[in-house]
Every structure is written in structure tokens, then in C-alpha cells.
């Protein structure tokens, strides 16, 4: 009888172990494509506005910030946007540099590279101080009360391009004269003229 009870106990333990091992590796159910939901960007309109400003020759960027207070959320968003704006400005100057060198048939000219690097370093902080907050948007989390803000900051083409041209003329006058004879220069001037016409309602 004792031997029977012993074997019965062994069988119970073995069965329990088999069940436990089986449950530790459950089959992963295949994801249902119909369960996927498209989530729209709540700040897409701000991104579109920034892109429109960039296309017109200016620089613009979007930033985000979150806080329990609306004013702090806005401040964080603007600060974030300023950091992004500096990168956009740097990209524009690098593009001008590349366009200029390609047009005059010079590849990686050290003097030209140095000139445009100086423009970037000198003007970044100066231009950021004059950047304008174009639009701010707020979202509130109903559960936590946290507020997320998004902001668009921008510098118009006239201010931006004139600053670049003035910096080149003051620091590298001979290089500036060469730059004036290029298509890149003409494009900068055209962006400024188009912006002025737009402001005048033409």
C-alpha cells in the first residue's frame, strides 16, 4: 500500500511539472492587422507651417515641451525649437557653401569653408535672439493634467539672408565679391525680394 501511495505521489508531481513547463512557454498569438490604428500627428499643422517658411527661404523649426503648467510647457517648447532652429540654420549655410563651391569649380576650398563656418558661429546666437515664435499649440492629458506644448519659431528670409551677406562682406570682402557673381547669391536676393512682396501684399 505504501509503495502504491509512493508511486501515485510521483505521478502527481511529474504531471504538475509537465503542466508547469508547458505553461511557461505559451504560444504567442499572431497580431491582428485589424487591431492596428493610425495615429495622426497632433502637431502636423505646425510642421507644415515650418516647412512653408523654409521653402520661402527662411528658417523655422518645431519644438515640444511638457509640464504641469502651461507657461512652462510653452517655454520648454520654444527652447527645444530654438535648438532645432540652430541646426536648420547650419544646414542652410552648409548648402550655400556647397552650392558656391560647385558653381566656381572648387572642391573643399579651405578659405571658403572657413568663411562659411565663421558665418555659422557668428550668426547663430545673434539670429536666435531675433527669432519669432509664429505659433503655439497645447494638448492636455485628461488623466494626469500634464500639458504638452508645441511651438514654431522662425527667422524670415530678409533678416536671415541679409545677415549672411553682411557677415561675408565684413569678414571676407574679396570672397564676398566672388560670391556675388554666383547663382547662389541671386537665389538669396530673390528670396528676400519675394518675402518683401509677400509682406506688401503683392
Instruction: Tell me if 105 is assigned to some domain.
Output: yes
14: confidence class by pLDDT, cuts 50, 70, 90: low
Instruction: Tell me if 64 is assigned to some domain.
Output: yes
Instruction: Tell me if 3 is assigned to some domain.
Output: no
What number is the average pLDDT over the span 37-52? 93
What residue spans of 66-147 are helical by DSSP H? 70-104, 110-129
What pLDDT is recorded for position 91?
94
Of residues 155 and 34, more confidently modeled: 155
The span from the CA of 129 to the CA of 135, in Å, is 17
110-129 helix and 173-180 helix, angle to the nearest 10 degrees: 90
Instruction: Tell me if 13 is assigned to some domain.
Output: no
Strand partners, 149: 65, 138
Residue located via cell numbers 549672411: 164
Where in the sequence is the domain holding 94, given as residue range(s)? 44-197
Which of the 8 DSSP states describes residue 34?
Answer: G
Least confident of 41-45, 46-50, 70-74, 114-118: 114-118
**Residue 6 clears pLDDT 50, i.e. is over it:** no
- Contact between residue 117 and residue 98 where contact means Cβ atoms under 8 Å apart: no
Instruction: Tell me if 91 is assigned to some domain.
Output: yes
Total number of domains constituting the chain: 1
Instruction: Tell me if 192 is assigned to some domain.
Output: yes
- Contact between residue 154 and residue 76 where contact means Cβ atoms under 8 Å apart: no
**pLDDT tens figures, 51-110:** 999 999 999 999 999 999 999 999 999 999 999 999 999 999 999 999 988 888 877 788
Instruction: Report strand pairing: 147-155 vs 59-67.
Output: antiparallel
**pLDDT tens figures, 131-190:** 999 999 999 999 999 999 999 999 999 999 999 999 999 999 999 999 999 999 999 999
Instruction: Tell me if 95 is assigned to some domain.
Output: yes
Instruction: Tell me if 11 is assigned to some domain.
Output: no
Quick check: pTM over 0.85? no
Amino acid at each position: 500500500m505504501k509503495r502504491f501511495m509512493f508511486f501515485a505521489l510521483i505521478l502527481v508531481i511529474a504531471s504538475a511539472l509537465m503542466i508547469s513547463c508547458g505553461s511557461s512557454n505559451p504560444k504567442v498569438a499572431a497580431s491582428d492587422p485589424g487591431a492596428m490604428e493610425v495615429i495622426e500627428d497632433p502637431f502636423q499643422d505646425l510642421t507644415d507651417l515650418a516647412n512653408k517658411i523654409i521653402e520661402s527661404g527662411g528658417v523655422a523649426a518645431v519644438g515640444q515641451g511638457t509640464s504641469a503648467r502651461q507657461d512652462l510647457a510653452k517655454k520648454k517648447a520654444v527652447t527645444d525649437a530654438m535648438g532645432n532652429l540652430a541646426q536648420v540654420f547650419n544646414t542652410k549655410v552648409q548648402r550655400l557653401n556647397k552650392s558656391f563651391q560647385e558653381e566656381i569649380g572648387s572642391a573643399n576650398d579651405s578659405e571658403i569653408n572657413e568663411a562659411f563656418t565663421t558665418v555659422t558661429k557668428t550668426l547663430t546666437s545673434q539670429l536666435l535672439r531675433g527669432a519669432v515664435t509664429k505659433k503655439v499649440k497645447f494638448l492636455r492629458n485628461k488623466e494626469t493634467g500634464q500639458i504638452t506644448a508645441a511651438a514654431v519659431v522662425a527667422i524670415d528670409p530678409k533678416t536671415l539672408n541679409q545677415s549672411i551677406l553682411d557677415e561675408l562682406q565684413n569678414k571676407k570682402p574679396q570672397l564676398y565679391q566672388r560670391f556675388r557673381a554666383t547663382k547662389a547669391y541671386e537665389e538669396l536676393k530673390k528670396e528676400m525680394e519675394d518675402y518683401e512682396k509677400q509682406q506688401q501684399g503683392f
